[in-house]
Chains A and B, each alone.
Chain A
Amino acid sequence: MKVTFPHMGNLHIVAKALLEYLDVPVVVPPPISKRTLALGLSHSPEFACIPLKINMGNFVEAAELGADTIVMAGGVGPCRFGYYAQVEREILKDLGYNYQMIVVEPPDTHWSEVKEKIKLISQGKPWWQITGAIKFAWLKARAIDIVEQKVQKIRARELVKGNADTVYRQALENIDMARDKQGVLKARDKALANLDDIPIDKDKTVLKVAVIGEIYTILEPYVNQNIEMHLGRLGVEVSRSIYLSEWINDHLFMKIIPIRSTKDYIKMAPPYLGHFVGGHGQETVGSAVKYSRTGFDGAIQLAPLTCMPEIVAQSILPVVSKKENFPIMTIYFDEQTGEAGMLTRLEAFIDLLERRVDLKRSKDNEWIFGN
């Protein structure tokens, strides 16, 4: 058995850690590239959203490296994603690939089924080993997110653009290579120290923008055209509504670790959106509310084109924007790779935010100086 899984941001580092701890042979699909996209596009229904197409590309490329088993997430509710594993299995079968597809449903709603699947993937490993694997994978996920959150701050302030990304890339590699707990913590601390060494403009006033929306689009830089890096280069500090470690804590650990939780967004979504609409639609609305009340200057909603839950959220966000006095822009992503359109929108959005901040400042001054 050689196990593979789809890419989603830094998920591969975490999934690889989990599987290798269980002595399961792993094939990480090659990093998403133009080739992945081209393969995915040619083997996917046209009307599906971009995650399915990239998944297909990943699976075809992983098969070329000898993978024979796929671990794929399932899903519940109105989002089409819950059906993707099934569709992908059928397409792969038609293409003649001999893949076994193991679909893992969301653990918080289907725990007993998930337990069975874990047993299957780990080939009957004892629970102490499985628990150890989950802990180790979690440790890597958290280390990555802690480093990334610092990178998001440094990018906006570094004197020479690109330094933070160099450290970040190296950190990901080191965390990926780490074989034990000490190794992960060492890699994390080294990255944090290196980030501290980057010369920054300490007095710079930076805009704070939240990236919110559909989980795959916000976590996968290939799909979102590296939006966070571009924002950073435009001098903007970014926070994302979902980090992988938070998702794991929310859905697998039942929030036992006291870190930020995406479940809080659900509480903050009413009265704008009072119920589940599939995917992360409700979280998107709630996260906009939360960020607007915690000192952020604006938010950008990202979603794959035709994403139903995010379309629902998008239609509600103008009300949130008005009531909370908080600019929000929506960008859809599909197979296009030209970045010019996105950059134009980002620049215009940042101009808008800057003007607002300037106006607010001059109004504050008026109040102070009584002009």
Chain B
Amino acid sequence: MNGFLGIDVGSVSTNLVVLDESGAVRESLYLRTQGQPIKAIKTSLNMAVERLPGLKVLGVGTTGSARHLASVIVGADSVKNEITAHAVAASSMVPGVRTVIEIGGQDSKLIILRDGVVTDFAMNTVCAAGTGSFLDQQAARLGIPIEQFGEMARRATLAVRIAGRCAVFAESDMIHKQQMGYSLEDIGAGLCEALVRNFLNNLGKGKEILSPVVFQGGVAANVGMRDAFNKALATEIIVPEYFGVMGAVGAAILAREYAARTGRTMFRGFSTLDVDFSSKSIECRGCPNQCEVISIQRGSQVLARWGDRCGKWSGVNGILKNEELAEA
């Protein structure tokens, strides 16, 4: 079959989606990045071709914090930030959506759309209190598998009040309430409400949250969080079918749009997978900034460099040879 690949390489997970020519999702993969994005990208491509033998790729889009790295490795046609990718996916899956709540591993986003166009957005800044990693950590501390956390919260009789402003405050508050004897269910529900409060106070500042509201990202799997958003916003919360891989869906849609305009792809092909990619980092000593410059290599060929402030390494006119890099 002919298809479009969307690859979302985030801090916690690497997701890959295959769209067919009509734009329907044919395959979606979710795997942990585990700090090795290149390996995760290769593995996900391998899995895709195993599941869809004979897949002919007409276009590739990348997103996520490692989107540039991913684009260099696979040869992407479109490289887009997560906010645009998530917005594109949500408005394609839920036409008319006006609010997108996205909570992933390390960050959370609030995207406001009007007439299918992003008009405003916010991302959590310096704090990870409302994100998946914190939920993960707390579930682990309580000895509850994260998959069951939401169901457990749903059995609460009373959501106890937990400080949601800061993950450290939340944790000490939870421990304190535990020691007082509140049930795990009540504490779990309280935590969900605290995180939702944190999200809305942090990202929702001054923004008009109108329905339809779409909730996506890995945390949308948590029914406790869905309930808490539902309660706080007093509106129906829509969780799309592919909520966990919406970034990749958006990247694939953008690749499809790109291919429709140009009729060609930069995709390097699945044979790329056999080639060794490596990254090499070095501290540039050209000035006191001492930038950590990274070069991505395919065999001995340098594909890209970044990490510098001045543009000496990453600039189009600054592709220096490895020997020069070593001397810098």
Contacts and interface: CB of A to CB of B under 8 A. Distances in A.
Nearest to B81: A347
A365 interface: no
Given A318-B206, A347-B84, A348-B81, A356 B123 contact: no
Contacts of B121: 329, 348-349, 352
Interface stretch (B139-147, B170-178, B282-290): B282-290
Of A315, A319, A341, A359, chain B has the most CB atoms within 10 Å of the CB of: A341
Interface in B64-91: 65, 80-84
B196 to A, nearest CB: 21
A22 to B, nearest CB: 28
Interface string B243-257: 000000000000000
Contacts of A343: 81
A31 B316 contact: no
B103 to A, nearest CB: 16
A30 interface: yes
A160 B81 contact: no
B205 A318 contact: yes
A355 B205 contact: no
A344 B121 CA distance: 12
A113 to B, nearest CB: 35
Contacts of B65: 340, 344
Contact of A161 (B84, B288, B315): B315
Interface string B114-140: 000111110101100000000000000
A348 B287 contact: no
A305 interface: yes
A352 B289 contact: no
Contact-size category for A: 35 or more
Nearest to B207: A318
Contacts of B81: 343-345, 347-348, 351
Interface residues of B, number: 29
B268 interface: no
A161 B312 CA distance: 10
B271 interface: no
Contacts, number: 89
A1 B311 CA distance: 39
B11 to A, nearest CB: 9
B206 A161 contact: no
A105 interface: no
A6 B289 CA distance: 17
B278 to A, nearest CB: 21
Contacts of B206: 315, 317-319
A161 B311 contact: yes
A336 interface: yes
Interface in B289-328: 289-290, 309-311, 315-318
Contacts of A321: 120
B121 to A, nearest CB: 6
A341 B287 CA distance: 24
Contacts of B289: 31, 33-34, 222
A37 to B, nearest CB: 11
Nearest to B311: A162
Interface string B187-209: 00000000000000000011100
Nearest to A163: B317
A341 B106 CA distance: 11
A152 B196 CA distance: 41
B118 A165 contact: no
Contacts of B311: 161-162, 165, 229, 233
Interface in A325-371: 327, 329, 331-332, 334, 336, 340-341, 343-345, 347-349, 351-352, 355-356, 359
Given A30-B288, A160-B317, A351 B84 contact: yes
Residue of A344, A345, A349, A359 with highest tally of chain B CB at under 10 A = A344
A135 interface: no
A226 interface: yes
A73 to B, nearest CB: 24
Contact of B123 (A162, A222, A226, A344): A344
A125 interface: no
Contacts of A165: 310-311
A35 interface: yes
A305 B310 CA distance: 25
Interface in A91-143: none
Q: Which of A163, A331, A334, A348 has the largest count of B CB atoms less than 10 A from its CB? A: A348
Given A305-B126, A315-B206, A341-B123, A31 B118 contact: no
Given A162-B318, A305-B126, A356 B117 contact: yes
Nearest to B64: A344
B118 A347 contact: no
Contacts of B125: 305, 331-332
B35 to A, nearest CB: 15
A347 B80 contact: yes
15 contacts: A32-B288, A161-B311, A226-B309, A305-B125, A305-B126, A319-B206, A347-B80, A347-B81, A347-B83, A347-B84, A352-B120, A352-B121, A355-B117, A355-B118, A356-B119
Which 4 pairs show the lowest CB-CB distances between chains A and B?
A318-B206, A348-B83, A162-B315, A33-B288
Given A344-B65, A352-B117, A355-B118, 7 more contacts: A315-B205, A317-B206, A321-B120, A327-B120, A331-B125, A349-B121, A356-B119
